[in-house]
Structure 1
Amino acid sequence: MVRVSLVVAAVLMLTTLIALLAVRQVLVDQMDVQLHAVAARQARSETPDGDQQAPRGATELGNPIGTIIVEQHGSFASARVVSEGALVVPSGDVIADLLNLPDDGEIRTLVLDDFGSYRVISVTRGDGTYVAALPLKQVNQMTMRVLLFMSALTLVAIAVAVMVTRPLVHRSLRPLHRLAETAHQVGQLDLRTGEVALPMRALDTDPGNEVGQVGRAFNQMLDNVESALAARQESETKVRRFVADASHELRNPLASIRGYAELTRRGREALPDQSQFAMQRIESESSRMSSLVEDLLLLARLDSDPNLQPEPVDCVEVVLNAVSDARAAGGGQRWQVDLPSHEVLAMADRHRLVQVVVNLLSNARKHTPAGTVVTASVRSEPGWVLIEVADTGPGIPEAVSGQVFERFARADVARAHSAEPSTGLGLAIVEAVMAAHGGTATVSSRPGDTRFQLRFPAAPAQD
C-alpha cells in the first residue's frame, strides 16, 4: 500500500509539473502575442502630442499596465512605463539594460531592477532602435495559483488513493495471510519422529490467479511431505519391531551362554591359562550383551507402549538412595547432595524414576575422573519437579553435546574416564523415559560444569 501510494504521488507530482509548465508556456505565448501587438502599435504610432520626449506608442490604447516602451536614435533615448494615471520615466539602468539587448526581433525574458521579470523584444527600424517590454507578474501569479491548486489536488488524490487502496490491498492479501497461517501451523509441528498427520491445507487453490497457484503447489508439497512421513514412520515401526523381536529372541541364548560360562567356574582351575582367560571373556561379554539386549528391549517397549504406572514418588528418597549406591560403586568421585528437608513428590513410575537417576549417576561415574565433585539435587517448581545431576568434570565437547541423548552415542567419543563398558543407550533410555512421563531431559555443559536436568510432572497436592 505504501509503495502504491508513493507511485501515485510520484505520478501526480510529475503530472503537476508537466501541467504547470504547459500552463505557464500558454500564458507566456499569450503574452508574446500581446508583445508583438505592442511592438506593431509602436511602429505605426507617431510622437505623442504634449510629451515630445516620450517614445512612440507609449500612449497607445491597449498597452497593459507596466508596459515599458523605449526608443533610441543615435545617442538620444527616451523611455516610459505605462502606469495608472500617467506615464513614468524608468531609471537609467533599466533603459540601459533594455537597449543592451540584441535588436534581432527575438523575444527574451529579462529581469529588470525594481520591475521584476519582463518579456522583451528589440528591433531596429530605420535609424532607430525600438524596445517593448511586458511584465510577467500576472503570469507568475497565475502560475503560483495553478501550482497551489495542483498541489492541493495532488494531496487530495494521494489521500483518496490511500483510502481506496488500503481495503483493496488488504482484501487481496487475505489469501496470502491464510496461506502463511497454514505454513506457520505446519512449521509448529514436530516432524522429527513418530506418526505425523498434516490435516491443514491451503484453502485458496484457484489456478486462475497467482495466489491460487501458490496454494495449489503448497498443498501438493504437503501431500508429498505427508506421504514421506508416513513411509518414514512405517520404516521406523518395522525397525523397532525387529529390534524388539530380536532382543526378545536373544535373551534366552545369551542367558544359556552366560549360565554355561558360569558353570565352568567350578573346574576352571584345571583348565589351561588360555582357556581360563577365554571362559572369563565369554562370561564378561555375555553379561555385557545381555545388558545391551535388555536396554534395546526396554527402548523398544518405551517406543511402542511405555506401560507406565505413575504414582506419587518421593524424589528426595530416590536421589538419596541412588547417590548412596553410586558412592558404594566406587570411581573416586566426591558425591554430594542438595536436597530439601521435606519430601518432593513427582507423578512417576517409581521403577523408571529410579532407573533414570541411576543412569545419570552412572554416567557421571564412568565419564569423569577421580576427584570430580558430583552433586545431585532436587527442587520443585509450579507443576514440576526438577532433579539435577551436576559434575565438575572436563565437560562434553561441543561437537557431541547435541547428540548425547541419541542411541549408541558412545561416551568414549566424548569424555571417557573409566574402563567400565558402556552400551551407549543409557542417556537414550533417560530421554525415552522422560518423554513417556511427559517430561524432559536436558543437558548443558562447559569445562568444570556439566548439568543433566530431569523435569517430572509434580504429583497433585494431597488434602
Structure 2
Amino acid sequence: MRRRRAPQTLRRRLLVVIAGLVVLVSAIVGLVSVASLHDQLMARMDAQLVQATDRAARTLGEEREEREDRLPLPPEGAEALLRIPGQPVGAIAALVTDRAVVTFGAIDEEGDFVDPPEAIAPVLASVPTDRTPVTVELDELGEYRAIAAPTDGGFSFVVAFPLAEVNATTAQLAVTVGVVAIAGLAAALVLGAVIVRRALVPLDRVTQTATLVSELPLARGDVELPDEVPVDDERTEVGRLATSFNRMLGHVAASLSAREQSERKVRRFVADASHELRTPLASIRGYSELTRLHGGELPPDVVHALGRIESESLRMTELVEDLLLLARLDEGRELRREQVDLTRLVIDAVGDAQVAAPDHEWRVEVPDDEVTVTGDAGRLHQVVANLLANARVHTPEGTEVVVRVARVPAASGAPA
C-alpha cells in the first residue's frame, strides 16, 4: 500500500527553507575557507621550495650574475641538497639529465638519508626546469610539491617537499567546518522551529476560532460567537490576517443578530396574528351555527351559505392553529424528555377528534398493558392531533378511521 506523503505545512516549508539556507551558506563558507587555506598553505610551500633552491644556490657557491641564474653541479650529487639546513622530513632531491635521474635521495623521519622507490624517478625527471613549483604524484609516497632548477653541463636539480601536512590540515579544516555546519544546522532548526511557532501562534488562533465557528449551529441565528483573535502587531502579515478575520467575525455576528431580530419579529407577528384571529373565527363559526339552529324555517340557499361559512371558518381555524404551532416550534424551545403514556394520549386525541367530527367513525385499538415512550407529551399530542385532523379533513363523511397502538420490535431485537 502506497504511503501518503506528509502534508507540506507552512511551518514545515519555513523550516525546510531555513535548513536549505543554512546548508547553502555553510557550504559556501566552508568551500571558500578550505580553498583559501589550501591556497595559503600551497603558497607557503612554494615559498619554502624557492627558499630551498636559493639556499642550495648559496651553499653550492652559485654566482647568479656570472652564471645567468644557473646552479653549479655539486660533486656529492643529490645528497648535497638534502644536507642543507631547513629541509623538512620527507624531502626528496634528485639530479636529472636528459629526462633521466642520475641520483636521488630522501630524508626519513629520523633525519637519515635513504633511497626513495625507483618508481618515482620518471616522475621527478618530468618536472619542468623553469623554477615553477608543480604538484606531482609519487606513487605510494603520495602528493609532493616539486621544483627544478638547471645547472651547468645540462644537469638540473629537483627538490620536492611532501604535501601530506598540507592535505591533512586542509582535511582537518573541512571536517571542522562540516561538524560546525551540522551543529549550526541543528541549532538553526531548533531556533527556527521556536521562532516559526511563535510567529504562527496568531495563525493557529485564527484556525481554532474558524473551527469553532464552523461547528456552531448558525442556522439557529441566536448563537454566541467566540472571542476575537488577539493581534500582536497589525503591520505583519499574520497580524493583518488576524485583523481581517476579526472584522469578518464582527460582520458575521452583526448579520446573525440582525437576522435573529428579524425572525423574532416575524415569529411574534405570526403568533400574535394567529392568536388574535382565533377569537373572530370562533365567533363567526358560533354565529353561523346559532343561525342554523334557529327554530324558523330557512331557505335552502341560506342553509347552504351557512354551511359554507362554517366549513370555511373551520378551515381558517385550522390554518391559524397551524401558523401558531409553527411560530411556537420556530422559537426553538427545548423538548422535554419524560415518560409518556402513549395509550392514554391516543385515546384522548381520538376522543377530541370524535367530538370535532361526529360524522366519521373513530375506532381505537390499544394493547391491554400500557405503552410508554420517552418524549415530550405536548409535542406528541400535537403530532397525533394533526394526523387525526388530516384524516378528518381529507376523507368524506362516514369514513372509518382506525388508530392502532402497538409495540414494534426494534432493529436490535429489543422491544420499542
* Alignment TM class, shorter chain as reference: 0.5 to 0.7
User: What is the CA deviation profile of residues 30-65 of structure 1, one whole-angstrom value per residue up to 9, with x for unaligned ones?
Assistant: 11111222333445535555x45x376233222212
1:107 equivalent among 123, 127, 133: 133
Confirm or deny: 8 A CA contact 2:212 2:226 kept in the other structure: no
* Aligned residue in 1 for 2:359: none
The aligned amino acid for 2:222 is E
The 1-side partners of 2:92 and 2:324 are apart by 114
Q: Secondary structure at the match of 2:133?
A: strand
After TM superposition, the structure 1 = structure 2 runs for residues 20-59 of structure 1, keeping only pairs within 5 Å, are 20-44=34-58, 45=60, 47-48=73-74, 51-52=76-77, 54=78, 57-59=81-83
User: Residue 319 of structure 1 contacts residue 376 of structure 1 at CA under 8 Å; is this kept in 2?
Assistant: no
Instruction: Give the drift of 1:300.
Output: 0.7
Deviation at 1:380, TM superposition (A): 12
The structure 1 residue matched to 2:105, chosen from 58, 80, 87, is 80
Structure 1 residue 222: deviation in Å? 1.7
- 2:228 is matched with 201
Matched to 1:152, the amino acid is: V
Q: Which residue in the other structure is 2:180 paired with?
A: 153
What's the counterpart of residue 136 of structure 1? 163
CA RMSD for the aligned pairs?
4.9
Shift in alpha-carbon separation, 1:121–1:318, aligned structure 2, 3 A: farther
Q: Quote the Cα distance in structure 1 between the aligned partners of 2:312 and 2:80.
A: 132
Query: 1:206, 1:216 within 8 Å by CA — same for their partners in 2?
Result: no
Q: CA deviation at 1:301?
A: 1.4
CA contact (8 A) 2:89 2:111 kept: no
1:216-365 equivalence runs, <5 A: 216-245=243-272, 247=274, 291-304=318-331, 306=333, 311-314=338-341, 345-346=373-374, 348-356=375-383
Of residues 75, 85, 109, the one that matches 1:61 is: 85
Confirm or deny that 1:70 pairs with 2:70: no
The CA deviation at 1:292 is: 5.0
Q: Which secondary structure state, in structure 1, belongs to the residue aligned with residue 90 of structure 2?
A: coil
- Partner deviation per Cα, 1:162-209 (whole Å, 9 max, x = no partner): 555555555444444444444443333221123233351223354354
Distance 1:89 1:305, change over 3 A: closer
Change in Cα spacing, 1:318 to 1:75, as seen in structure 2 (3 Å) is: same
- Unmatched runs of 5 consecutive residues or more in structure 2: 1-10, 61-71, 293-299, 350-366, 395-405
**Equivalent residue, structure 2, for 1:335:** none
Percent identity, aligned pairs only, is: 36
SS at match of 1:192: helix
CA distance in 1, matches of 2:167, 2:272: 99
Q: TM-score, normalised by structure 1?
A: 0.58
Report the TM-score, using the length of structure 2 for normalisation. 0.63
Question: Which residue of structure 2 lines up, in the alignment, with residue 398 of structure 1?
Answer: none
Distance in structure 2 (CA, Å) of the matches to 1:358 and 1:289: 17
Amino acid at match of 1:119: R
Deviation by residue 1:55-100 (Cα, 9 ceiling, x = unmatched):
7623322221222223322365222223234333333431112323
**What is the identity, as a one-letter code, of the residue corresponding to 2:81?**
G
Partners of 1:129 and 1:320 in 2: CA distance: 132
Q: Which has the higher strand share?
A: 1
The offset of 1:137, in angstroms, is 0.4
Query: Any gaps of 5 or more consecutive residues in structure 1?
Result: 265-269, 323-338, 367-374, 388-463
- Report how far residue 139 of structure 1 moved: 0.9
Q: Sort the Cα spacing of 1:250 and 1:112 in 2 relative to 1 into closer, same or farther, 3 A.
A: farther
Q: Distance in 1 between matches of 2:74 and 2:410?
A: 117
Superposition pairs of residues 162-177 of structure 1, within 5 angstroms: 164-165=191-192, 167-177=194-204
Describe the shift of the 1:63–1:361 C-alpha distance in structure 2 as closer, same or farther (beyond 3 A): farther
Is residue 345–residue 381 contact of structure 2 (8 Å, CA) maintained in 1?
A: yes
